[in-house]
Amino acid sequence: MKRIVIACFFVIALVPLGLKAQAQLGVTPSSVQIGITTSNTWVGNLQIENPTASQLGFSLLSLPPQLIEDQVAYHPFNDHLMDLFSHQSGSNVNTSFGTDRFDHYHGAASFNGTSSWVTWNYILENTFSISFWAKPDITGSLITEGYYNHALYTNYLLGPEWGGTGNRAGLGIALNNQGIMVIEHADVYMPCLLSYAADLSDWHHYTIVFQNHRPSLWIDGLWVRDGLQSQKQITYLSHGFGSHGYGSYWGLMDDLCVFDAALSSARISSLYQYTENSRYGFSPVFGNVGAGSSVNTSLSMQDSSLPEGTFNDVLTLCQAGSDPLFVQIPVSLSVSPFGPMAPSGLTITRLTDGDYRLEWDPVSQTTNGQIYTPMIYRIYSSSEPGPDWAYSPTGSSTQTFFVVDSEALPAPSGRRFFYVKAE
């Protein structure tokens, strides 16, 4: 059986993240090398392992690691409302999904004036940041900055919660095609701390940083203005999106990120430049792993635009929960137009103990005829023929033979298919 083999290396190696405590979850294999050539597609499998006595949730995502240290929530809104950090979806009434800024179907949350979605109850007071993409579909007036003691009716993307009669106030965000406002709410107290007029009818990235009792607004990675100072001792971030008693939002929202710190300009720029996927096109995946067990998950990569060369990136394995834990996965990719030839002369022998012995001729050149000596051969297996991504990694060898332990394979199906790749 022959396969065209593609070149270079895609490396995943586990190292401590150093941001928060190390996750108890692990990943196998701990070091993966995969070849890829320009404009090629690859789907690989990683095994997420849970050695603990309790079920654990996991997410595999590519948020910039410099952001994760203070992050408490991330909602990508890819046809679900789940926070990939806590694995909680909150409560939803009538919130649906629409096309995001990349024209991905069901890639953004969609609000229609009656939608109401409440996130899980994180507690963020006095110092916090909230970041999101949005495209409003409603025309509305703009409230000027000032300290008001009556209800402010407008289009609330995030409804300001009533902070009560004491020294607390809930912070909300209003957004329409004409501008954005940051509004507090408590008893006989509803100031508009920040108001900014602009044509915001298209997709834009918004970051609101609250510190020193004052909000600051950033749009598309750039600082816009600082608002008024709160007159309350405690300002906390509200939780209800889409609908509020004093007005509702029509439009889309995407990539909601919440932080328990005041973000720097550099980190806000990183958020603005983040595209949900790494440069390799990995889509976030999530699930649960039972106590003492493991699950397989796929990493899908579409290399459709990268030039030849070497690139570096980071994936993150998140152990979900109210206090998430992380493992950082550095990624290095080399893109080349040529790769080693496929091994030829592959033979498969069934041994008396049920194992399979694979042997093949050595590879000595690349697809363009250059002399080449592989560093390693990778073995993949499947119970039926199909595309490369349907085959599972089975082992590796620095020699031109390999014995596959039949007990390590899935349940027998009556036949077995293998292919060998030179790297």
Task: Give residue-wise pLDDT tens across range 29-66.
Answer: 655 555 566 656 566 677 888 898 999 999 888 777 77
Those residues with Cβ within 8 angstroms of residue 159's Cβ, 6 or more apart along the chain or in another chain: 172, 238, 240, 241, 243, 244, 245, 246
366 shares a domain with 328: no
Burial status of residue 139 (CB atoms within 10 A of its CB: 0-12, 13-18, 19 or more): exposed
192 shares a domain with 146: yes
The dihedral built from the CA positions of residue 220, 221, 225 and 227, taken in this order, carries a sign that is positive
Q: Does residue 16 register a pLDDT over 50?
A: no
266 shares a domain with 188: yes
327 shares a domain with 353: no
Burial status of residue 241 (CB atoms within 10 A of its CB: 0-12, 13-18, 19 or more): buried
Count the domains in the chain.
3
220 shares a domain with 189: yes
| pLDDT number for residue 418 | 86
CATH number, domain at 356?
2.60.40
285 shares a domain with 329: yes
The domain boundary residue, chosen from 306, 335, 364: 335
364 shares a domain with 266: no
245 shares a domain with 187: yes
Candidate from 333-337, 406-410, 413-417 with smallest mean pLDDT = 333-337
Q: Does residue 303 register a pLDDT over 60?
A: no
CA-to-CA dists, residue 114 to 154, 245, 342, angstroms = 14, 11, 58
| pLDDT number for residue 281 | 56
Quick one: pLDDT band at residue 280, thresholds 50, 70, 90? low
CATH number, domain at 310?
2.60.40.10
188 shares a domain with 223: yes
Those residues with Cβ within 8 angstroms of residue 355's Cβ, 6 or more apart along the chain or in another chain: 403, 404, 405, 406
Would 358 be classed as within a structural domain?
Answer: yes
pLDDT tens-digit map of 85-99? 999 989 999 999 999
- Could you report how far apart the first and last alpha carbons of the chain are, in Å? 17
110 shares a domain with 225: yes
Would 90 be classed as within a structural domain?
Answer: no
301 shares a domain with 243: no
User: Is there a contact between 28 and 76 (Cβ–Cβ < 8 Å)?
Assistant: no
Burial status of residue 314 (CB atoms within 10 A of its CB: 0-12, 13-18, 19 or more): middle
Phi, psi for 142 (deg, rounded to 5): -110, 135
Those residues with Cβ within 8 angstroms of residue 76's Cβ, 6 or more apart along the chain or in another chain: 61, 84, 254, 255, 276, 284
DSSP state of 385: -
**Bigger pLDDT: 312 or 416?**
416
Q: Does residue 3 register a pLDDT over 50?
A: no
| pLDDT number for residue 402 | 93
Cα–Cα distance between 165 and 388 in angstroms, integer? 64
Q: Does residue 287 register a pLDDT over 50?
A: yes
308 shares a domain with 165: no
Phi, psi for 198 (deg, rounded to 5): -170, 165
Would 87 be classed as within a structural domain?
Answer: no
Percent above pLDDT 70 for the chain: 83
Q: Does residue 172 register a pLDDT over 70?
A: yes
Would 89 be classed as within a structural domain?
Answer: no
Query: In the structure encoding, which two tokens stand for residue 6, read together?
Result: 């593609």
Q: Does residue 306 register a pLDDT over 70?
A: no
The domain boundary residue, chosen from 240, 273, 306: 273
Full domain range(s) for residue 381: 347-422
Taking the CA atoms of residue 94, residue 241, residue 76 and residue 285 in that order, the dihedral angle to the nearest 10 degrees is -60
Residues composing the chain: 423
User: Is there a contact between 47 and 374 (Cβ–Cβ < 8 Å)?
Assistant: no
Candidate from 117-131, 145-159, 207-221, 402-416 with smallest mean pLDDT = 402-416
pLDDT tens-digit map of 174-207? 999 999 999 999 999 999 999 999 999 999 999 9
Quick one: pLDDT band at residue 158, thresholds 50, 70, 90? very high
Quick one: pLDDT band at residue 24, thresholds 50, 70, 90? confident
| pLDDT number for residue 233 | 97
The domain boundary residue, chosen from 300, 335, 370: 335
